[in-house]
Structure 1
């Protein structure tokens, strides 16, 4: 499974509609509206790199209201349980 985090800049008047349209795309597991440098963050989970291109460049970038994206491919995931286990002293 390939995970990608997509930072999305959107037209401010269309953020809710843009977020819902992105969330409805197959391969997009979550979309967050947020404060900061970007308007939306989408989490994409697909089986291979060809699907990443299809979902992001073929679908997300074409959603009305999306003005720009930046994609970050995840290499490894960590959860709080993983971090705690890594620092455990074998107790």
Structure 2
């Protein structure tokens, strides 16, 4: 499995709705609320043959209330 993170900026007042929608979709491993430029930090695992770009576009960015995303691809956990 490939692990990666997405920082999500939500529309004002929509952070909890977005987090709940991600949890209900059962596509995220972990969902955290954060302070700063982004509202949520979400960890995902996908099979190696899955295209990260398509996954982000088709599974994440379509969730209502998301304003912006930043994808962080990871290499190795220590």
For structure 2, the 5+ residue unaligned runs are none
Deviation at 1:51, TM superposition (A): 4.8
- For residues 5-84 of structure 1, the aligned pairs below 5 Å read 5-78=5-78
For structure 1, the 5+ residue unaligned runs are 79-91
In structure 1, distance between residues paired with 2:49 and 2:6: 14
In structure 1, distance between residues paired with 2:52 and 2:64: 19
1:18-47 alpha-carbon deviations (Å, 9 max, x no partner): 111122334311111111111011101111
SS at match of 2:18: helix
TM-score, normalization: structure 1?
0.76
Instruction: Identify, as 1 or 2, the structure richer in helix.
Output: 1
The total of aligned residue pairs comes to 78
TM-score, normalization: structure 2?
0.87
